Amino acid sequence: MVVQRPLDREDQSHHTLLLTAIDGGEYPRSGSMQINVRVTDSNDNSPIFEKSSYVIEIPENSPPGKILINLNATDEDEGSNGQVVYSFTGYASERIQDLFSIDPNTGVIKVQGEIDYEENPIIEFDVQAKDLGPNPIPGHCKITVKVLDKNDNSPIISFVSVRQGAISEAAPPESVIALVRVTDKDSGRNGQLQCRVLGNVPFRLQENNDNFYTLLTDRPLDREMKDEYNVTIVARDNGIPSLNYTKSFTVKILDENDNAPRFTKTVYVLQVPENNIPGEYLGSVVAHDPDVGRNGTVSYSILPSHIGDVSVYTYVSVNPTNGAIYASRSFNYEQTKSFEFKVQAKDGGSPHMESTSTVRVNVLDVNDNLPVIILPLLLNDTAEIPVPRNVGIGYIVATVKAVDHDHGESGHLTYEITEGND
């Protein structure tokens, strides 16, 4: 008995045959017997998965131990030839094997590493099922894991360029301070961003594209009112719940020479007694400039003018640094009771700015003049006055008149006879 065609145990594992033997007589006789043929298994079948590929969705940050899929592959062979074990193919990277584990006996694939959408939104790998028979031929299936994004990343703010953190107070509105880039690794609503400047500061954000913003001034700046701003930018995504991120930086306002020196008074009145010593300190003028550096450095000078026919510089001088005014000569009240001049304050900016103030000097009288008798006329301090003989009592002998060039009480005169006979 020989095999006439290939046998397939998986198609039919038993064959029952009836063998009959017939003799050659006139009346042939026969005998028969039953032959049972059992087809033994050969490892001629590979394991077969239910599907050739699987697409699975899983949220990112799924915890370790979470079941990804329960694979099932069947092998029609029997015994060890049909016993299936599961494993990753040899092409699976170490990263895949770090992220997932597979039970070799059950085909259950579980999460064992950190699933991060931002690192790999789609993960693909192959799994093989192999029987334990001799010369096994494994079966394969492809696993595609789609990672579902969660709002687990806050926005990030970075400055592409900054004006060294400073801007001139003369900069017009809409001047660029910085270029700001805002990014979020999440996708969809989780990655949609809103960005704004916090607080009442003279700056605003203008959105460009691709989450780039320009930080601009939105009104004139004045260093003298505020010389430094702390700018805080907040970025918020549209996820639920939303996440936000803030970043702050300092913007310094640079000075411009936009302020002239200002005197504390429009008119300064100085008092000086006459007969003063040349070089004597008379008083000071003070001017303030709110600018800084050279722009706020004030120097003083006296503007050219004349007092009578004489230059003012022969009367007074000023210290250019502190505004102290000194007498250049000794004053005589009887010649000059008061005089005025202008002092200029100029800053060190370029171009410079200036202002003026008036200084009035009042010379105070000192009792430095003796009375002088002008009537009667004196000769060697003596006057001879004829008087008629036998005049009566009350007769006016003479009228004495004196003058004093001093002022006020110093020039008020009284008369008396200090010595004499009758």
At residue 382, the pLDDT reads: 86
At residue 29, the pLDDT reads: 93
330-355 residue pLDDT tens: 998 888 989 999 999 999 999 999 99
**C-alpha–C-alpha distance, residues 103 and 86, integer Å:** 7
**C-alpha–C-alpha distance, residues 344 and 331, integer Å:** 23
pLDDT in tens, the chain (422 residues): 888 888 888 888 899 999 999 998 888 999 999 999 898 888 888 899 999 999 999 999 999 999 999 999 999 888 899 999 999 998 889 999 999 999 999 999 999 999 999 989 999 999 999 999 998 989 999 999 999 999 999 999 998 877 788 999 999 999 999 999 999 999 889 999 999 999 999 999 999 888 899 999 999 999 999 999 999 999 999 999 999 999 998 999 999 999 999 999 999 999 999 889 999 999 999 999 999 999 999 999 999 999 989 999 999 999 999 999 999 999 988 889 899 999 999 999 999 999 999 999 999 887 777 788 888 888 888 888 888 888 888 888 888 898 877 777 777 888 888 887 66
**C-alpha–C-alpha distance, residues 227 and 233, integer Å:** 19
Tokens of 203: 């700056």
Q: What is the mean pLDDT of the chain?
A: 91
Identity of the amino acid at 56: I
Distance between start and end Cα atoms, the chain:
200
**CATH numbers and ranges of domains, the chain:** 48-148 (2.60.40.60), 159-254 (2.60.40.60), 262-364 (2.60.40.60), 370-422 (no CATH)
At residue 45, the pLDDT reads: 87
Beta-carbon contacts of 362 under 8 Å, excluding residues fewer than 6 positions away, are: 269, 270, 271, 272, 337, 338
Of 142, 164, 137, nearest in space to 71 by CA: 142
The DSSP secondary structure of 62-113, one letter per residue, reads: PPTT-EEEE--EE-SS-GGGG-EEEEE-TT--HHHHHHEEE-TTT-EEEE-S
**C-alpha–C-alpha distance, residues 30 and 35, integer Å:** 16
At residue 366, the pLDDT reads: 79
At residue 7, the pLDDT reads: 86
For 258, counting Cβ atoms within 10 Å of its Cβ (0-12 exposed, 13-18 middle, 19+ buried), the class is: middle
At residue 422, the pLDDT reads: 64
At residue 404, the pLDDT reads: 79
